[in-house]
Amino acid sequence: MRKSLFINGEWVGAANVQDLYSPYSGEKIAEIPLATLQEVDAAVQAAYNARKQLKKMPAHERAQILENVSRLIEENREECARLIAVEAAKPIQTARGEVARSLMTYKFASEEARRLPNEMVNMDAAPGGENRTAYAVREPAGVVAAITPFNFPMNLVAHKLGPAIASGCPVVLKPASQTPLSAFFIAELFEKAGLPKGALNVVTGKGSVVGEALVTDDRVKVITFTGSPEVGMSIRNKAGLKKVTLELGSNSAVIIDEGTDIEAIADRVATGAFTYQGQVCISVQRIFVHESCYKQLTKKMKEKAQSMVLGDPLDEGTHISAMISPEEKDRVLSWINEAAEQGAKIVTGGEENNGMITPAVIENVAPSMKVSCEEVFGPVVTISPFKEWEEAIGLVNNSDFGLQAGVYTEKISHAFHASEELEVGGVMINDFPTFRVDHMPYGGMKKSGSGREGIKYAIEEMTEIKLVSFNNSSFK
Protein backbone atom coordinates (compact mmCIF):
# COMPACT_ATOMS: atom_id res chain seq x y z
CA MET A 1 0.00 0.00 0.00
CA ARG A 2 1.44 3.34 -1.06
CA LYS A 3 -0.32 6.41 0.25
CA SER A 4 -0.31 9.99 -1.00
CA LEU A 5 -0.59 13.41 0.57
CA PHE A 6 -4.07 14.94 0.59
CA ILE A 7 -3.82 18.57 -0.51
CA ASN A 8 -6.63 20.79 -1.78
CA GLY A 9 -8.94 17.85 -2.35
CA GLU A 10 -6.38 15.94 -4.42
CA TRP A 11 -4.21 12.93 -3.66
CA VAL A 12 -0.67 14.08 -4.37
CA GLY A 13 2.22 11.68 -4.78
CA ALA A 14 5.42 12.59 -2.96
CA ALA A 15 8.93 12.14 -4.26
CA ASN A 16 10.15 10.79 -0.94
CA VAL A 17 8.52 7.98 1.00
CA GLN A 18 9.18 6.07 4.19
CA ASP A 19 8.36 2.45 4.92
CA LEU A 20 5.78 1.87 7.64
CA TYR A 21 6.10 -1.33 9.70
CA SER A 22 3.69 -3.15 11.98
CA PRO A 23 4.73 -2.63 15.63
CA TYR A 24 3.68 -6.21 16.37
CA SER A 25 4.92 -8.30 13.45
CA GLY A 26 7.59 -5.99 12.08
CA GLU A 27 6.19 -6.50 8.58
CA LYS A 28 6.06 -3.65 6.11
CA ILE A 29 2.47 -2.45 5.79
CA ALA A 30 2.74 0.73 3.69
CA GLU A 31 4.89 3.40 2.12
CA ILE A 32 4.17 6.81 3.61
CA PRO A 33 5.01 10.12 1.90
CA LEU A 34 7.51 12.48 3.48
CA ALA A 35 6.23 15.96 2.74
CA THR A 36 8.67 18.64 1.69
CA LEU A 37 8.47 22.26 2.81
CA GLN A 38 6.95 23.10 -0.56
CA GLU A 39 4.20 20.52 -0.07
CA VAL A 40 3.47 21.76 3.45
CA ASP A 41 3.27 25.28 2.03
CA ALA A 42 0.80 24.09 -0.60
CA ALA A 43 -1.35 22.44 2.06
CA VAL A 44 -1.42 25.59 4.20
CA GLN A 45 -2.21 27.74 1.17
CA ALA A 46 -5.08 25.41 0.22
CA ALA A 47 -6.51 25.72 3.72
CA TYR A 48 -6.00 29.48 3.68
CA ASN A 49 -7.81 29.76 0.36
CA ALA A 50 -10.72 27.69 1.68
CA ARG A 51 -11.25 29.71 4.84
CA LYS A 52 -13.79 32.20 3.42
CA GLN A 53 -15.88 29.51 1.76
CA LEU A 54 -15.98 27.43 4.94
CA LYS A 55 -16.78 30.48 7.07
CA LYS A 56 -19.74 31.42 4.85
CA MET A 57 -21.05 27.85 4.65
CA PRO A 58 -24.30 27.66 6.62
CA ALA A 59 -23.99 25.90 9.97
CA HIS A 60 -26.49 23.24 8.94
CA GLU A 61 -24.32 22.30 5.94
CA ARG A 62 -21.21 21.93 8.10
CA ALA A 63 -23.29 19.91 10.53
CA GLN A 64 -24.48 17.63 7.76
CA ILE A 65 -20.93 16.98 6.55
CA LEU A 66 -19.91 15.95 10.06
CA GLU A 67 -23.00 13.76 10.37
CA ASN A 68 -22.10 12.16 7.04
CA VAL A 69 -18.60 11.36 8.33
CA SER A 70 -20.07 9.76 11.43
CA ARG A 71 -22.36 7.64 9.27
CA LEU A 72 -19.50 6.60 6.98
CA ILE A 73 -17.44 5.49 9.99
CA GLU A 74 -20.43 3.47 11.16
CA GLU A 75 -20.62 1.79 7.75
CA ASN A 76 -16.89 0.96 7.88
CA ARG A 77 -16.50 0.17 11.57
CA GLU A 78 -14.58 -3.07 11.20
CA GLU A 79 -12.24 -1.71 8.52
CA CYS A 80 -11.47 1.26 10.78
CA ALA A 81 -10.78 -0.99 13.76
CA ARG A 82 -8.49 -3.31 11.83
CA LEU A 83 -6.61 -0.32 10.43
CA ILE A 84 -5.96 0.95 13.96
CA ALA A 85 -4.96 -2.53 15.16
CA VAL A 86 -2.46 -3.00 12.35
CA GLU A 87 -0.74 0.38 12.41
CA ALA A 88 -0.86 1.00 16.19
CA ALA A 89 -0.81 -2.57 17.62
CA LYS A 90 -3.97 -1.72 19.53
CA PRO A 91 -5.84 -4.91 20.48
CA ILE A 92 -8.84 -5.27 18.19
CA GLN A 93 -11.43 -5.10 20.97
CA THR A 94 -9.92 -1.83 22.18
CA ALA A 95 -9.66 -0.55 18.61
CA ARG A 96 -13.39 -1.17 18.12
CA GLY A 97 -14.03 0.92 21.21
CA GLU A 98 -12.02 3.76 19.71
CA VAL A 99 -14.01 3.58 16.48
CA ALA A 100 -17.27 3.76 18.44
CA ARG A 101 -16.02 6.83 20.25
CA SER A 102 -14.84 8.43 17.01
CA LEU A 103 -18.21 8.30 15.34
CA MET A 104 -19.78 9.77 18.49
CA THR A 105 -17.20 12.57 18.50
CA TYR A 106 -18.23 13.58 14.97
CA LYS A 107 -21.90 13.36 16.02
CA PHE A 108 -21.21 15.74 18.89
CA ALA A 109 -19.36 18.05 16.48
CA SER A 110 -22.34 18.00 14.12
CA GLU A 111 -24.66 18.97 16.97
CA GLU A 112 -22.38 21.76 18.20
CA ALA A 113 -22.10 23.20 14.69
CA ARG A 114 -25.83 23.96 14.90
CA ARG A 115 -25.57 25.80 18.23
CA LEU A 116 -22.47 27.97 18.21
CA PRO A 117 -22.61 30.03 21.41
CA ASN A 118 -23.59 33.54 20.20
CA GLU A 119 -25.21 35.83 22.77
CA MET A 120 -26.94 39.15 23.35
CA VAL A 121 -25.12 41.69 25.53
CA ASN A 122 -27.13 43.96 27.86
CA MET A 123 -25.36 47.23 27.12
CA ASP A 124 -27.47 49.32 29.50
CA ALA A 125 -26.06 47.41 32.45
CA ALA A 126 -23.38 50.13 32.50
CA PRO A 127 -23.85 53.93 32.46
CA GLY A 128 -23.49 55.16 28.90
CA GLY A 129 -24.83 51.95 27.41
CA GLU A 130 -28.40 53.16 27.16
CA ASN A 131 -30.24 52.95 23.86
CA ARG A 132 -27.81 50.42 22.43
CA THR A 133 -28.31 46.89 21.16
CA ALA A 134 -25.33 44.54 21.03
CA TYR A 135 -24.51 40.93 20.43
CA ALA A 136 -21.36 38.83 20.49
CA VAL A 137 -20.76 36.24 17.79
CA ARG A 138 -18.15 33.53 17.50
CA GLU A 139 -16.28 33.52 14.21
CA PRO A 140 -13.75 30.96 12.98
CA ALA A 141 -10.24 31.95 13.98
CA GLY A 142 -8.70 30.74 10.71
CA VAL A 143 -6.47 27.91 9.56
CA VAL A 144 -5.99 25.19 12.18
CA ALA A 145 -2.82 23.10 12.36
CA ALA A 146 -3.70 19.79 14.01
CA ILE A 147 -0.82 17.61 15.22
CA THR A 148 -1.91 14.25 16.58
CA PRO A 149 -0.26 11.31 18.42
CA PHE A 150 -0.22 7.58 17.72
CA ASN A 151 -2.23 6.26 20.64
CA PHE A 152 -5.72 7.26 19.46
CA PRO A 153 -5.11 7.72 15.73
CA MET A 154 -8.80 8.04 14.88
CA ASN A 155 -10.50 9.58 17.90
CA LEU A 156 -7.89 12.21 18.71
CA VAL A 157 -7.97 13.23 15.06
CA ALA A 158 -11.76 13.52 15.46
CA HIS A 159 -11.26 15.76 18.49
CA LYS A 160 -9.37 18.20 16.29
CA LEU A 161 -11.15 17.92 12.94
CA GLY A 162 -14.66 17.82 14.43
CA PRO A 163 -14.61 21.16 16.27
CA ALA A 164 -12.56 22.82 13.53
CA ILE A 165 -15.07 22.00 10.79
CA ALA A 166 -17.98 22.79 13.13
CA SER A 167 -16.40 26.22 13.73
CA GLY A 168 -15.78 26.87 10.05
CA CYS A 169 -11.99 26.53 10.29
CA PRO A 170 -10.02 24.73 7.54
CA VAL A 171 -7.39 22.27 8.77
CA VAL A 172 -3.94 21.01 7.95
CA LEU A 173 -3.53 17.68 9.76
CA LYS A 174 -0.19 16.12 10.60
CA PRO A 175 -0.77 12.65 12.05
CA ALA A 176 1.84 10.69 13.99
CA SER A 177 4.45 9.04 11.79
CA GLN A 178 3.49 5.54 12.97
CA THR A 179 -0.27 5.95 12.50
CA PRO A 180 -1.02 7.92 9.32
CA LEU A 181 -3.30 5.31 7.72
CA SER A 182 -6.26 6.23 9.92
CA ALA A 183 -5.83 9.88 9.01
CA PHE A 184 -5.76 9.14 5.28
CA PHE A 185 -8.87 7.01 5.66
CA ILE A 186 -10.70 9.83 7.45
CA ALA A 187 -9.67 12.23 4.68
CA GLU A 188 -11.33 9.87 2.19
CA LEU A 189 -14.50 9.90 4.29
CA PHE A 190 -14.56 13.71 4.49
CA GLU A 191 -14.14 13.82 0.73
CA LYS A 192 -17.15 11.52 0.33
CA ALA A 193 -19.07 13.51 2.94
CA GLY A 194 -18.97 16.67 0.81
CA LEU A 195 -16.30 18.78 2.49
CA PRO A 196 -15.06 21.54 0.12
CA LYS A 197 -11.61 21.25 -1.38
CA GLY A 198 -8.88 22.67 0.80
CA ALA A 199 -10.93 22.50 4.00
CA LEU A 200 -8.95 19.41 5.06
CA ASN A 201 -5.38 18.64 4.10
CA VAL A 202 -3.25 15.76 5.39
CA VAL A 203 0.53 15.97 5.28
CA THR A 204 2.85 13.35 6.71
CA GLY A 205 6.52 13.48 7.47
CA LYS A 206 9.06 14.41 10.07
CA GLY A 207 7.97 16.65 12.91
CA SER A 208 11.12 18.70 12.50
CA VAL A 209 10.00 19.54 8.95
CA VAL A 210 6.20 19.41 8.81
CA GLY A 211 5.44 20.35 12.41
CA GLU A 212 7.98 23.15 12.49
CA ALA A 213 6.63 24.64 9.27
CA LEU A 214 3.04 24.56 10.52
CA VAL A 215 3.84 26.09 13.90
CA THR A 216 5.77 29.03 12.44
CA ASP A 217 3.55 29.78 9.42
CA ASP A 218 1.75 33.14 9.79
CA ARG A 219 -1.26 31.85 7.82
CA VAL A 220 -1.94 29.33 10.59
CA LYS A 221 -4.00 30.91 13.38
CA VAL A 222 -4.70 27.94 15.67
CA ILE A 223 -2.49 25.07 16.78
CA THR A 224 -3.97 22.04 18.50
CA PHE A 225 -1.37 19.52 19.62
CA THR A 226 -1.41 16.29 21.58
CA GLY A 227 1.96 14.85 22.49
CA SER A 228 4.93 15.18 24.80
CA PRO A 229 5.48 18.12 27.18
CA GLU A 230 8.86 18.83 25.61
CA VAL A 231 7.41 19.26 22.12
CA GLY A 232 4.39 21.10 23.50
CA MET A 233 6.52 23.68 25.29
CA SER A 234 8.60 24.14 22.14
CA ILE A 235 5.42 24.78 20.15
CA ARG A 236 4.22 27.29 22.75
CA ASN A 237 7.53 29.17 22.51
CA LYS A 238 7.43 29.34 18.71
CA ALA A 239 3.73 29.98 18.14
CA GLY A 240 3.74 33.71 18.74
CA LEU A 241 0.18 35.11 18.89
CA LYS A 242 -1.47 31.96 17.58
CA LYS A 243 -4.18 30.31 19.68
CA VAL A 244 -2.65 27.13 21.10
CA THR A 245 -4.26 24.10 22.75
CA LEU A 246 -1.82 21.62 24.27
CA GLU A 247 -2.72 18.16 25.56
CA LEU A 248 0.50 16.85 27.04
CA GLY A 249 1.75 14.25 29.52
CA SER A 250 0.44 12.72 32.72
CA ASN A 251 1.16 10.22 35.47
CA SER A 252 -2.46 9.87 36.52
CA ALA A 253 -3.25 8.73 40.03
CA VAL A 254 -6.16 7.08 41.81
CA ILE A 255 -6.85 7.30 45.55
CA ILE A 256 -8.61 4.35 47.20
CA ASP A 257 -10.09 5.18 50.59
CA GLU A 258 -10.62 2.83 53.53
CA GLY A 259 -13.88 0.94 53.31
CA THR A 260 -13.76 0.68 49.52
CA ASP A 261 -14.97 -2.60 48.04
CA ILE A 262 -11.71 -3.75 46.43
CA GLU A 263 -13.35 -6.71 44.69
CA ALA A 264 -15.80 -4.34 42.99
CA ILE A 265 -13.21 -1.92 41.63
CA ALA A 266 -10.15 -4.08 40.90
CA ASP A 267 -11.14 -4.95 37.33
CA ARG A 268 -11.72 -1.32 36.45
CA VAL A 269 -8.48 -0.08 38.00
CA ALA A 270 -6.51 -2.82 36.21
CA THR A 271 -8.21 -1.90 32.94
CA GLY A 272 -7.19 1.71 33.48
CA ALA A 273 -3.60 0.67 34.10
CA PHE A 274 -3.03 -1.81 31.28
CA THR A 275 -5.42 -1.00 28.40
CA TYR A 276 -3.49 -0.53 25.15
CA GLN A 277 -0.24 -1.37 26.90
CA GLY A 278 -0.66 1.67 29.16
CA GLN A 279 -0.15 3.99 26.18
CA VAL A 280 -3.00 6.27 27.22
CA CYS A 281 -2.54 9.83 28.54
CA ILE A 282 -4.87 9.13 31.48
CA SER A 283 -3.71 5.58 32.13
CA VAL A 284 -3.66 4.65 35.83
CA GLN A 285 0.03 4.94 36.75
CA ARG A 286 -0.02 5.67 40.48
CA ILE A 287 -2.33 4.03 43.02
CA PHE A 288 -2.51 5.41 46.56
CA VAL A 289 -4.54 3.04 48.71
CA HIS A 290 -5.41 3.21 52.41
CA GLU A 291 -3.16 0.94 54.43
CA SER A 292 -6.16 -1.14 55.53
CA CYS A 293 -6.81 -2.14 51.89
CA TYR A 294 -3.21 -2.22 50.68
CA LYS A 295 -2.50 -5.95 50.78
CA GLN A 296 -5.86 -6.89 49.25
CA LEU A 297 -5.53 -4.37 46.43
CA THR A 298 -1.96 -5.44 45.67
CA LYS A 299 -3.03 -9.09 45.50
CA LYS A 300 -5.93 -8.30 43.17
CA MET A 301 -3.79 -6.15 40.87
CA LYS A 302 -1.23 -8.96 40.69
CA GLU A 303 -3.97 -11.42 39.71
CA LYS A 304 -5.38 -9.07 37.10
CA ALA A 305 -1.97 -8.38 35.59
CA GLN A 306 -1.15 -12.08 35.36
CA SER A 307 -4.48 -12.81 33.68
CA MET A 308 -3.76 -10.47 30.76
CA VAL A 309 -3.28 -12.24 27.42
CA LEU A 310 -0.36 -11.05 25.30
CA GLY A 311 -0.40 -11.49 21.55
CA ASP A 312 -1.41 -10.41 18.07
CA PRO A 313 -3.57 -7.25 18.15
CA LEU A 314 -5.90 -8.83 15.58
CA ASP A 315 -6.58 -11.79 17.89
CA GLU A 316 -9.95 -11.40 19.62
CA GLY A 317 -8.55 -12.64 22.92
CA THR A 318 -5.55 -10.31 23.13
CA HIS A 319 -5.38 -7.76 25.97
CA ILE A 320 -1.77 -6.63 25.57
CA SER A 321 0.29 -6.36 22.40
CA ALA A 322 3.52 -4.72 21.29
CA MET A 323 4.57 -1.24 22.32
CA ILE A 324 4.47 1.30 19.53
CA SER A 325 8.20 0.85 18.84
CA PRO A 326 11.17 -1.22 20.04
CA GLU A 327 12.69 1.96 21.45
CA GLU A 328 9.64 2.57 23.64
CA LYS A 329 9.70 -1.05 24.81
CA ASP A 330 13.36 -0.73 25.81
CA ARG A 331 12.75 2.58 27.59
CA VAL A 332 9.90 1.19 29.70
CA LEU A 333 11.89 -1.91 30.61
CA SER A 334 14.85 0.25 31.63
CA TRP A 335 12.65 2.34 33.91
CA ILE A 336 11.28 -0.80 35.57
CA ASN A 337 14.78 -2.20 36.08
CA GLU A 338 16.01 1.15 37.39
CA ALA A 339 13.20 1.23 39.96
CA ALA A 340 14.12 -2.29 41.12
CA GLU A 341 17.77 -1.29 41.46
CA GLN A 342 16.71 1.71 43.58
CA GLY A 343 14.74 -0.46 46.01
CA ALA A 344 11.30 -0.89 44.49
CA LYS A 345 9.69 -4.35 44.52
CA ILE A 346 8.36 -5.81 41.28
CA VAL A 347 5.25 -7.67 42.44
CA THR A 348 4.70 -9.15 38.97
CA GLY A 349 5.54 -8.55 35.33
CA GLY A 350 7.91 -6.02 33.88
CA GLU A 351 9.61 -8.58 31.63
CA GLU A 352 9.98 -8.91 27.88
CA ASN A 353 7.87 -11.65 26.29
CA ASN A 354 8.16 -12.13 22.52
CA GLY A 355 8.84 -8.44 22.04
CA MET A 356 6.04 -7.37 24.42
CA ILE A 357 6.08 -6.27 28.06
CA THR A 358 4.23 -8.27 30.69
CA PRO A 359 2.03 -5.92 32.80
CA ALA A 360 4.01 -4.71 35.79
CA VAL A 361 2.79 -4.03 39.32
CA ILE A 362 5.40 -2.27 41.48
CA GLU A 363 5.43 -1.39 45.19
CA ASN A 364 7.89 0.30 47.58
CA VAL A 365 8.17 3.13 45.07
CA ALA A 366 9.86 6.42 45.96
CA PRO A 367 8.27 9.57 44.46
CA SER A 368 11.56 10.39 42.74
CA MET A 369 11.64 7.18 40.68
CA LYS A 370 10.85 7.60 36.98
CA VAL A 371 8.02 5.06 37.18
CA SER A 372 6.33 7.47 39.58
CA CYS A 373 7.33 11.03 38.75
CA GLU A 374 7.51 10.80 34.94
CA GLU A 375 5.02 9.48 32.39
CA VAL A 376 5.72 5.79 31.86
CA PHE A 377 3.32 5.37 28.92
CA GLY A 378 3.61 1.63 29.28
CA PRO A 379 1.89 -1.29 31.10
CA VAL A 380 3.18 -0.26 34.53
CA VAL A 381 1.36 0.68 37.73
CA THR A 382 2.76 1.56 41.14
CA ILE A 383 0.96 0.97 44.46
CA SER A 384 1.66 2.91 47.66
CA PRO A 385 -0.17 2.94 51.03
CA PHE A 386 -1.34 5.99 52.97
CA LYS A 387 -2.75 6.57 56.48
CA GLU A 388 -4.56 9.90 56.34
CA TRP A 389 -6.74 11.35 53.56
CA GLU A 390 -4.80 14.62 53.46
CA GLU A 391 -1.62 12.61 52.94
CA ALA A 392 -3.13 10.94 49.87
CA ILE A 393 -4.13 14.29 48.36
CA GLY A 394 -0.57 15.52 48.84
CA LEU A 395 0.89 12.41 47.21
CA VAL A 396 -1.24 12.92 44.10
CA ASN A 397 -0.38 16.62 43.90
CA ASN A 398 3.34 15.88 44.29
CA SER A 399 3.69 15.78 40.52
CA ASP A 400 4.67 18.00 37.62
CA PHE A 401 1.51 16.79 35.86
CA GLY A 402 -2.19 17.36 36.47
CA LEU A 403 -4.47 15.85 33.85
CA GLN A 404 -7.04 13.70 35.66
CA ALA A 405 -7.29 11.82 38.96
CA GLY A 406 -9.62 9.15 40.29
CA VAL A 407 -11.04 8.90 43.79
CA TYR A 408 -12.79 5.93 45.39
CA THR A 409 -14.47 6.75 48.69
CA GLU A 410 -17.70 6.19 50.61
CA LYS A 411 -17.26 9.48 52.50
CA ILE A 412 -18.89 12.47 50.85
CA SER A 413 -16.63 14.83 52.80
CA HIS A 414 -13.56 13.11 51.33
CA ALA A 415 -15.06 13.30 47.85
CA PHE A 416 -15.65 17.05 48.06
CA HIS A 417 -12.29 17.65 49.69
CA ALA A 418 -10.55 15.81 46.84
CA SER A 419 -12.55 17.70 44.21
CA GLU A 420 -11.41 21.00 45.73
CA GLU A 421 -7.79 20.17 46.50
CA LEU A 422 -6.56 17.94 43.67
CA GLU A 423 -4.48 19.93 41.18
CA VAL A 424 -5.83 18.32 38.02
CA GLY A 425 -8.11 19.16 35.12
CA GLY A 426 -10.63 16.44 35.95
CA VAL A 427 -11.57 14.62 39.18
CA MET A 428 -13.43 11.33 38.74
CA ILE A 429 -15.26 10.47 41.96
CA ASN A 430 -15.73 6.71 42.46
CA ASP A 431 -14.09 6.00 39.14
CA PHE A 432 -10.63 5.73 37.64
CA PRO A 433 -8.78 8.68 36.03
CA THR A 434 -8.95 6.93 32.65
CA PHE A 435 -12.63 7.80 32.32
CA ARG A 436 -13.49 10.09 29.42
CA VAL A 437 -16.57 10.70 27.32
CA ASP A 438 -16.04 12.81 24.28
CA HIS A 439 -18.23 15.84 24.97
CA MET A 440 -16.86 16.63 28.42
CA PRO A 441 -14.17 19.30 28.95
CA TYR A 442 -10.81 17.56 28.89
CA GLY A 443 -7.42 19.03 29.60
CA GLY A 444 -4.83 19.50 32.27
CA MET A 445 -2.86 21.75 34.56
CA LYS A 446 0.88 22.12 35.12
CA LYS A 447 2.91 20.21 32.50
CA SER A 448 -0.21 18.38 31.32
CA GLY A 449 -1.03 21.27 29.04
CA SER A 450 -3.32 24.23 28.46
CA GLY A 451 -6.73 24.73 26.88
CA ARG A 452 -9.52 22.19 26.73
CA GLU A 453 -10.83 19.57 24.33
CA GLY A 454 -14.37 18.22 24.27
CA ILE A 455 -16.22 19.53 21.23
CA LYS A 456 -17.99 22.54 22.74
CA TYR A 457 -14.86 23.59 24.61
CA ALA A 458 -12.55 23.03 21.65
CA ILE A 459 -14.82 25.23 19.51
CA GLU A 460 -14.23 28.02 22.01
CA GLU A 461 -10.49 27.52 21.50
CA MET A 462 -10.86 27.70 17.69
CA THR A 463 -13.08 30.78 17.44
CA GLU A 464 -12.78 34.50 18.09
CA ILE A 465 -15.48 36.63 19.71
CA LYS A 466 -16.68 39.63 17.73
CA LEU A 467 -18.90 42.24 19.38
CA VAL A 468 -21.43 44.12 17.25
CA SER A 469 -23.02 47.18 18.88
CA PHE A 470 -25.82 49.37 17.47
CA ASN A 471 -26.33 52.92 18.64
CA ASN A 472 -30.10 52.91 18.25
CA SER A 473 -30.46 56.72 18.47
CA SER A 474 -28.68 57.13 15.13
CA PHE A 475 -31.44 55.31 13.21
CA LYS A 476 -34.54 57.05 11.85
Q: Given 80, 169, 281, 293, which residue is catalytic?
A: 281
Q: Given 247, 328, 453, 461, which residue is catalytic?
A: 247
281 is catalytic: yes
Is 87 exposed, middle or buried, given 0-12, 13-18 or 19+ CB atoms closer than 10 A?
A: buried
Quick one: which of 30, 55, 20, 33 has its CA closest to 165? 55
460 is catalytic: no
Catalytic residues: 247, 281
